C-alpha cells in the first residue's frame, strides 16, 4: 500500500504538469495564430507558464519522495 501511495504521489503531479503544459502550448499557438506580430511576447509568457507548471510538478515529486522516506 505504501508503494502505491508513492507511485500515485509521483505520477499525478507529472500528469498534471503534462496536461497543463499541453493547455499552455495550445493557448500560445492559438494566440500566435490570431496575432503573429506578438510572437516574442507570447513566447515569453508561454515559457513562464511552463516553468510554473513544471515547478509545481517538481514540488509534488519532492513531497512524494520525502513522504516515502519518512513513512
CATH at residue 38: 1.20.20.10
H helices within 1-71, ranges in order?
A: 2-34, 39-70
User: Residue 3 has what pLDDT?
Assistant: 81
User: Residue 61 has what pLDDT?
Assistant: 87
14-69 pLDDT, tens digit each? 999 999 999 999 999 999 999 999 999 999 999 999 999 999 989 988 988 888 88
71 pLDDT higher than 80: no
Q: What range defines the domain where residue 18 resides?
A: 2-70
* Residue given cell 490570431 in the structure block: 34
Number of domains in the chain: 1
Asked whether 9 and 64 are in contact (CB, 8 A), the reply is yes
Amino acid at each position: 500500500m505504501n508503494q502505491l501511495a508513492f507511485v500515485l504521489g509521483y505520477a499525478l503531479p507529472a500528469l498534471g504538469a503534462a496536461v497543463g503544459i499541453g493547455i499552455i502550448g495550445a493557448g500560445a499557438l492559438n494566440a500566435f495564430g490570431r496575432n503573429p506580430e506578438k510572437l516574442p511576447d507570447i513566447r515569453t509568457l508561454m515559457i513562464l507558464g511552463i516553468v510554473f507548471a513544471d515547478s509545481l510538478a517538481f514540488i509534488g515529486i519532492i513531497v512524494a519522495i520525502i513522504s516515502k522516506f519518512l513513512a
